[in-house]
C-alpha cells in the first residue's frame, strides 16, 4: 500500500437518510482493542501465561479534532451527543476499507482562544458489532 493522505481518512455519521462526513476534522484516530482472558493455572507449561482463544471484549474508539465548518454535520454531532443516542457511523480508511457500526459520542469538547478559531474534540466508542468491508 502506498502512502495515503490523512485528509482521506473520513468519519461519517448517518443522518437518517445518508452518511454525512463530519466536516472540519483536522486529525482523526481509529483504535481497536481486544481484551484478553487469562486462563493460566498452576500446571501451565513452563509457567507461561495462557489466553482463552476467542474470548474477551472487542471495542473500537474514534477520536478527532478540528474546526466547526459545516452547519449540517456540526448540528448532527451536537444533536447526537446531547441526545445520548447511538449513531450508525462509518470510518473510511483509504486503500484499506470501511468500518461501519453503532457508535456513541462519549466526549465533545469545545475550545477557543480570543485570537483563534473555535475548535472541537470528539470521542466515539463502539456500541455493538462492527463490520469491515475491504476496498
User: For the chain, how many structural domains are there in total?
Assistant: 1
pLDDT for 66 equals 92
The C-alpha cell at 55 is 474470548
pLDDT band at 92 (very low <50, low <70, confident <90, very high): very high
Give the number of other CB atoms < 10 A from CB of residue 102: 17
What integer is the mean pLDDT of 71-80?
91
Q: What DSSP assignment string belongs to 75-117?
A: HHHHHHHHHT-EEEEEEEETTTEEEEEEEEEEEEEEE--TTS-
Per-residue pLDDT tens over the stretch 46-61? 989 999 999 999 999 9
Q: Note whether residue 74 is domain-resident.
A: yes
CA dist 91 and 2 (Å) reads 19
Q: Note whether residue 48 is domain-resident.
A: no
pTM of the model: 0.87
pLDDT for 23 equals 85
pLDDT for 70 equals 78
Give the domain CATH number at 104: 2.30.110.20
**Residue 133's Cα: distance from chain center in Å?**
16
Structural domain including 78 reads: 6-33+59-134
pLDDT for 1 equals 65
Q: Note whether residue 66 is domain-resident.
A: yes
- Tell me the pLDDT of the chain averaged across its residues: 92
**pLDDT at residue 100 is higher than 70:** yes
Place of cell 482463552: 52
Q: Which residues contact 39 (CB under 8 A, 6 or more apart)?
A: 50, 51, 52
Amino acid at each position: 500500500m502506498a502512502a495515503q493522505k490523512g485528509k482521506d481518512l473520513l468519519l461519517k455519521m448517518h443522518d437518517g437518510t445518508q452518511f454525512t462526513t463530519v466536516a472540519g476534522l483536522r486529525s482523526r484516530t481509529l483504535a481497536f482493542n481486544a481484551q484478553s482472558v487469562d486462563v493460566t493455572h498452576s500446571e501451565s507449561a513452563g509457567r507461561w501465561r495462557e489466553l482463552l482463544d476467542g474470548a474477551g471484549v472487542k471495542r473500537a474508539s474514534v477520536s478527532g479534532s478540528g474546526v466547526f465548518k459545516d452547519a449540517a454535520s456540526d448540528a448532527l454531532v451536537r444533536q447526537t451527543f446531547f441526545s445520548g443516542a447511538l449513531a450508525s457511523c462509518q470510518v473510511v480508511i483509504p486503500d484499506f476499507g470501511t468500518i461501519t457500526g453503532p457508535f456513541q459520542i462519549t466526549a465533545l469538547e469545545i475550545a477557543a482562544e480570543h485570537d483563534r478559531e473555535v475548535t472541537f474534540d470528539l470521542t466515539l466508542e463502539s456500541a455493538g458489532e462492527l463490520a469491515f468491508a475491504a476496498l
